[in-house]
Amino acid sequence: MNIEFDESELTGFNDQAKDTLVDKTRLFATDLIEESNRLESNRNSSGGAPEITSSNVIHANIFLRELLSPKKKKISHKTLLISSSIAPLFVGLMYDKDKLQDGLYFIGFIIMIAVSILLTTVSIFKE
């Protein structure tokens, strides 16, 4: 099977870039073929002759693209991760056994622990 690119699509590519494009395209095609075979072998419970369908190739492509380009995280998710890392630090800084004898300080300390646990739990489930 030969795959060709239209020269008009490669405007600005030098010869080395074109060679690299061909090599990387072959590498991706090889990975796509391997993943398609893996998916087919998982679905072929009878052990018969392999039959790779277009859906196998489509699913393999989706899997490889998700694997190769992880989703970008939103700023709110990054903020959540940072705050879930900093909250336990504040809990540790707040710990003072003498101040914890005061009822109001103790309630604030418990609230900070709860916030820290909540932020960490939410950030884990968002992953």
pLDDT in the model for residue 117: 96
Residue 44 has pLDDT above 80, yes or no: no
* Long-range Cβ contact pairs of 15-21 (< 8 A, separation 24 or more): none
Tokens of 96: 């003072």
pTM, full prediction: 0.50
**pLDDT for 62-89, tens place per residue?**
888 877 666 677 888 899 999 999 999 9
Burial of 36 (0-12, 13-18, 19+ CB in 10 A): buried
**pLDDT for 83-111, tens place per residue?**
999 999 999 999 999 999 999 999 999 99
How many other β-carbons are positioned within 10 Å of the β-carbon of residue 107? 10
Give the Cα separation of 96 and 92 in Å (integer): 9
Give the Cα separation of 46 and 43 in Å (integer): 9
